[in-house]
């Protein structure tokens, strides 16, 4: 499989288990690796035979900005489901970063990484 990678998609969301996270929100960062066969698109230089990564980026940001969930695991799953709605995408790897997680010790980042495939 070929890969199209999007790194560092940023959006403000209201996800988390604590009231403050839900009320104030925070920045989430998403990285995606879309697995697909790009040969048909390349052979005909045809966008319709691949995935429009600009559209995917907008959809992912909409998911992050959308309905709040408690867990970043749930957020990652919703993002993966949205990516797999694109016919060309056979598999997706989603990394959700929560750099402002409510942790009481110094840290750089918290992430969840999931890989989902078309059933």
- Catalytic residue positions? 98
In angstroms, the CA 106 to CA 91 distance is: 34
- Give the residue ranges of DSSP H helices in 51-102: 53-65, 72-84
Whether the Cβ atoms of residue 9 and residue 60 lie closer than 8 Å to each other? yes
- The Cβ of residue 106 has, within 10 Å, a number of other Cβ atoms equal to 5
- The Cβ of residue 90 has, within 10 Å, a number of other Cβ atoms equal to 15
- Biggest CA-to-CA distance, the chain: 54
């Amino acid at each position: 499989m070929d890969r199209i990678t999007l790194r560092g998609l940023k959006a403000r969301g209201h996800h988390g288990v604590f009231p403050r996270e839900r009320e104030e929100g925070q920045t989430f960062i998403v990285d995606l690796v879309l697995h697909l066969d790009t040969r048909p698109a390349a052979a005909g230089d045809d966008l319709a035979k691949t995935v429009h990564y600009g559209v995917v980026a907008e959809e992912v940001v909409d998911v992050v900005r959308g309905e709040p969930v408690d867990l970043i695991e749930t957020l990652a799953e919703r993002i993966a489901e949205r990516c797999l709605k694109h016919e060309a995408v056979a598999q997706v790897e989603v990394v959700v970063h929560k750099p402002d997680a409510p942790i009481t010790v110094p840290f750089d980042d918290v992430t969840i990484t999931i890989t989902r495939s078309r059933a």
